[in-house]
């Protein structure tokens, strides 16, 4: 299954739900879709990983690259994805929340 993205907005926060597998070629497609749907720098973004079944190193790198231009928080990590993030020490880069609502709320009213 390829990676698909659903975009939504809650308050002033963009919520991006990932579905499928985030590997290889999908990382450049991911970056293109972010640019097309969100645009400029400095956006507050929550990535919902609840429907993500697998993430490879290139997918993880694409998420990290987002943090250069945007404030990014993660939500709904499955046990498998959480284990991968623990191994890669990505919890040191991202704030991780149990729910999308909690992640959105953590941005405050700014």
User: In the chain, where are the structural domains located?
Assistant: 4-98
Higher per-residue pLDDT: 38 or 1: 38
Tokens for 82? 């959480």
How far is Cα 47 from Cα 73, in angstroms, rounded to an integer? Answer: 6
Q: Residue 1 — very low, low, confident or very high, per pLDDT cuts 50/70/90?
A: low
Homologous superfamily (CATH) for 4-98: STAS domain (3.30.750.24)
Say what the pLDDT of residue 26 is.
Answer: 82
Say what the pLDDT of residue 27 is.
Answer: 84
Average pLDDT over residues 67-78: 95
How far is Cα 90 from Cα 35, in angstroms, rounded to an integer? Answer: 23
Q: Which residues contact 90 (CB under 8 A, 6 or more apart)?
A: 60, 63, 64
């Amino acid at each position: 299954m390829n990676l698909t993205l659903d975009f939504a907005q809650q308050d002033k926060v963009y919520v991006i739900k990932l579905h499928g597998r985030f590997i290889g070629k999908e990382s450049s497609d991911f970056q293109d879709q972010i640019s097309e749907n969100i645009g400029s720098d400095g956006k507050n973004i929550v990535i919902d990983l609840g429907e993500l079944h697998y993430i490879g190193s290139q997918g993880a790198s694409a998420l990290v690259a987002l943090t250069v231009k945007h404030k990014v928080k993660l939500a709904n990590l499955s046990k498998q994805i959480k284990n991968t993030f623990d191994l890669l020490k990505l919890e040191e880069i991202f704030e991780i929340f149990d729910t999308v609502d909690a992640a959105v709320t953590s941005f405050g009213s700014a």
